[in-house]
Structure 1
Amino acid sequence: MKKKIGFLSFGHWRNVNASQTRSAADALLQTIELAEAAEELGVDGAFVRVHHFERQLASPFPLLSAIGARTSRIEIGTGVIDMRYENPLYMAEEAAAADLISGGRLQLGVSRGSPETVLRGAEAFGYVPAEGETAADAARTKTELFLAAIDGAAVARTDPARTGISGGLAIQPQSPGLRDRIWWGAGTRATAQWAAGIGVNLQSSTLLSEDTGVPFDQLQAEQIESFRKAWRDHGHDREPLVSVSRSVLPITEDIDRLYFGDSAQEDQIGLLEGVRSRFGRTYAGEPDQIAEELARDEAVRAADTVLFTVPNQLGVAYNARILEAITKHIAPAIGWTPAAAVPLRGR
């Protein structure tokens, strides 16, 4: 299976020693620059994580639109947007605009979101759950409305007093094909099956909120197979896409060893919100060693796209060198071949 690869940035910033992202402006502008560098290396995707009430990237659409305007080939996406915080119709307008600006390169990951330090954060944004509605319920309901809106459904009515007619209105603009490029971030086999039911692609989470005792990659591969089976059972008329994320830190210079020499680890297992969960390991070491390990990773083998998380606070040049090591020594071992390099524009 020919694979795509991308980078995934959380966009951290801290005004501390050694950080290359001292401010929100640093994190945003450097994400754009890293996407340009990644495109030049032949990387397929530039993805960002969305977190609210944190010193991390939070408002993806201006950033994705800027990346889209500064690049010409690389896919732009999220992993993931917490739908509890979103107005589905306004988000549909923003998503369509970003997709049009990029020429149809948006790959939008959405979900219920991850555990947060904020208490009832979505309520602070004005979204109070209905009686008996869970966070997962709210996210799914909003996602279904968002999907209908980008698919061109009538989501509002004309005003007969002004128009003399009564009819339905869709959000504008519309971006054809965007509906097929929406992904659901799933942390269990059950949520993966739900994603298959509504016909969206799967972003398998690096944190699975279930644990059967098997290694993380095998558990994730089971989730992927469960998703694909459910997709077939629903009879959708296209093939679904699946992505997984991996923390990969190739050590090629002494500075890498100083930063990451002790980072390699096994799966982490623990209780998260009262549920036994399993979190994927970090791959740190010589590139050839990592390549061999990832080539045996069952979920990596099953996925269409592999997203590599980047330590964005170390700056654009450092992260571009990590991506270069991945493209030269690691990604080919998992079935990736580089896209045509695109010269940087305006640099």
Structure 2
Amino acid sequence: MPLTSRPLRKLGFLTIGLFDEADPRRGHESTLEIIELGERLGFDSAWVRHRHLQYGISSPVAVLAAASQRTSRIELGTAVIPLGWENPLRLAEDLATVDILSGGRLNPGISAGPPMHYDRVKHALYPETADIEDLGYERLRRLLDFVRGQAVTDFSGTEGFEVFSDRVQPHSPGLGGRMWYGGASLRSAQWAGEHGMNFLTSSVVKAEEAEDFAEIQLAHIRTFRGYHPDGDRARVSQGLVVIPTDTASAEQRSKYEEFAARRLPRTATPQGPARMLFAPDLVGPSELIAERLHAHAAFREIDEVAFALPFTFDREDYIQILTDIATRLGPALGWRPAA
């Protein structure tokens, strides 16, 4: 088996946190229980997706605040918060608060650009300013400045009995170095590197100069590190959909294989006007998945992963998949669980 150039150092997972509209608490509790399981299994990080006006987590920062009080070690991330839905100043306050509560374990993943279906929601989001809102990188730069402690106002000091700060409070000194950009293009990779962020890659990329997924993702990673002050030491996390079947039942294996087969056609060619290209889901015994990852050009460049759990599986499936990742696949990739 070929060896990776970078031994796998950090193993994480990503979940969407689905719930039933009639019983949303049960779904949110299940997500928290999965994060607790991840910590017990030794995972280094747990990440939650962000879904607005859907039956998934709409407030990942709030969910991770709860998770911070039910765990003690595992890093907690968002993958990713679409910043077009947020006020950067208020979000900076929330992120810093949760980071303080977690003891410095928060890893906020952010993306820029217009929200999904913006034309249908913009008048609810920004009734007076929808058509003049800056939804691009400048909005993200403001968030980074606020998180990193730059002044928000020219006023500070005491007014009557109240004391005011000129920067976001609480200020969490290490949080600025744990901000991640969820990127799928060369431009986003360059911007994240230039602004000293970390870089989240996923199972979706934009086919700009090639149509081979691994080749495209590798170009993004190298572009990011080429512009980052830390160079080759800049942090990149890869988030493919990975489903080991070592301890799965026959019924589970059949479900997983059917899931991957339904999604396979979209991996053949770029999809839609944006030419988005999807990576095939990796399903099978851990030894086989490890071989496929070792052969993946982009995987060989990184030492952190946050494998994505499929959206629609059952809780028992997630327990089996996470357990196999931690006890079978992770060690096959050279990883060792945290104490």
Normalised by the length of structure 1, the TM-score is 0.85
**Which letter maps to 2:306?**
L
- Does structure 1 conserve the Cα–Cα contact (< 8 Å) formed by 2:18 and 2:28? no
Deviation at 1:81, TM superposition (A): 0.3
Equivalent of 2:239, from 230, 239, 245? Answer: 245
Q: Deviations over 1:29-65 (max 9, x none)?
A: 1111001101111111110111211111111111001
The answer to whether the aligner puts 1:212 opposite 2:209 as a matched pair is yes
* Structure 1 residues 87 and 287: CA distance shift in structure 2, 3 A: same
The answer to whether the aligner puts 1:181 opposite 2:187 as a matched pair is no
- Does structure 1 conserve the Cα–Cα contact (< 8 Å) formed by 2:112 and 2:139? no
Counterparts of 2:158 and 2:37 in 1: how far apart (Å)?
54
**Which letter maps to 1:96?**
A
**Which letter maps to 2:80?**
V
- Does structure 2 conserve the Cα–Cα contact (< 8 Å) formed by 1:11 and 1:48? yes
Matched residue, 2:275: 276
* Structure 1 residues 278 and 114: CA distance shift in structure 2, 3 A: farther
1:1-347, aligned counterparts within 5 Å?
1=6, 2-14=8-20, 23-112=23-112, 116-117=116-117, 119-126=119-126, 128-129=129-130, 131=132, 138-158=135-155, 162=159, 169-231=166-228, 235=229, 239-251=233-245, 252-262=248-258, 263-264=260-261, 265=264, 267-272=267-272, 274-311=273-310, 313-340=312-339
Counterparts of 1:62 and 1:287 in 2: how far apart (Å)?
34
- Does structure 1 conserve the Cα–Cα contact (< 8 Å) formed by 2:11 and 2:306? yes
* Structure 1 residues 126 and 117: CA distance shift in structure 2, 3 A: closer
Q: Deviations over 1:137-188 (max 9, x none)?
A: 524222111111111111023389946xxx9711110111100000011111
**Which letter maps to 1:327?**
A
* Structure 1 residues 50 and 312: CA distance shift in structure 2, 3 A: same
Q: Deviations over 1:249-281 (max 9, x none)?
A: 222321212311232537342333x22221111
Counterparts of 2:172 and 2:233 in 1: how far apart (Å)?
20
Q: Deviations over 1:297-316 (max 9, x none)?
A: 12222123211112365444
Deviation at 1:318, TM superposition (A): 2.8
Aligned pair count reads 324
Give the match's secondary structure for 1:184. strand
Counterparts of 2:157 and 2:148 in 1: how far apart (Å)?
25
- Does structure 2 conserve the Cα–Cα contact (< 8 Å) formed by 1:243 and 1:305? yes
Give the match's secondary structure for 2:135. helix
Unaligned 5+ runs, structure 1: 16-21, 341-347
Q: Deviations over 1:43-98 (max 9, x none)?
A: 11110111211111111111001111100110000110000011111111100111
Counterparts of 1:285 and 1:75 in 2: how far apart (Å)?
27
- Does structure 2 conserve the Cα–Cα contact (< 8 Å) formed by 1:242 and 1:303? yes
**Which letter maps to 2:105?**
R
Unaligned 5+ runs, structure 2: 1-5
- Does structure 1 conserve the Cα–Cα contact (< 8 Å) formed by 2:20 and 2:27? no
Give the match's secondary structure for 1:337. coil
Q: What CA RMSD, in Å, does the superposition of the two structures yield over aligned residues?
A: 2.6
- Does structure 2 conserve the Cα–Cα contact (< 8 Å) formed by 1:9 and 1:309? yes
- Does structure 2 conserve the Cα–Cα contact (< 8 Å) formed by 1:189 and 1:226? yes
Give the match's secondary structure for 2:143. helix
- Does structure 1 conserve the Cα–Cα contact (< 8 Å) formed by 2:244 and 2:284? yes
Normalised by the length of structure 2, the TM-score is 0.87
**Which letter maps to 2:188?**
T
